[in-house]
Amino acid sequence: MREGFDKIGMRRIVEGVLIAHEHRLPDVLLPQLPTAFFKLPGGELNPREDEVEGLKCLMTEILDHQDAVLQDWVTDYCIGNWWRTNFEPPQCPYTPAHITKPKERKKLFLVQLQEKALFAVPKNYKLVSAPLFELYDNAPGYGPIISSLPQLLCIYN
């Protein structure tokens, strides 16, 4: 990460928050690795790549279904930013005043699913539908970013 920062500057990551409604309650769709590690779909952008278009390309690469028509990902809102202030793993939902050159920015976008969406999850992942009440204040189970989603999503109807 240090070499990349010296070459191209701050690393930019975009991730999509997929919302499904189960029994009229919102759930977040989360790919899960076999090690019980949850993540949001997305990834690192190329230098000068547009964030929304880059997220759509990354979501298509990750979740594309071979037999299906290409999914039209509708990314409405940026719901949050997380910053890596140094080359260590912890991330903050803000940039501290003493940090002039953050090392990484992770931008979260709300992705609207169509009424009928068809996509595939990579073979080494399992798709989990997590209700918002389970994510809330559950950083040990889901990590700080995913467990903050209920607060980030509360302003949307």
Tens digits of per-residue pLDDT, 28-38?
Answer: 999 998 888 89
Q: Which is more confident, 120 or 105?
A: 105
Structure tokens at 114: 């169509």
Q: Which two tokens stand for residue 9?
A: 């500057």
CATH number of the CATH domain containing 62: 3.90.79.10
Query: What contacts 81, CB < 8 A, 6 or more positions away?
Result: 93, 105, 106, 107, 108
Range of the domain at 63: 1-156
pLDDT of 65: 64
Task: Work out the average pLDDT over 114-128.
Answer: 83
pLDDT in tens, 20-30: 887 888 899 99
The helix (run of H) or strand (run of E) holding residue 46 is none
For residue 61, what pLDDT band results from cuts at 50, 70 and 90? confident
CB atoms inside a 10 Å sphere around CB 24? 5
Tell me how many domains the chain contains.
1
Q: Mean pLDDT over residues 33-60, rounded?
A: 91
What pLDDT does residue 118 have?
A: 78
Task: State yes or no: pLDDT of 69 exceeds 90.
Answer: no
pLDDT at 108 over 80: yes
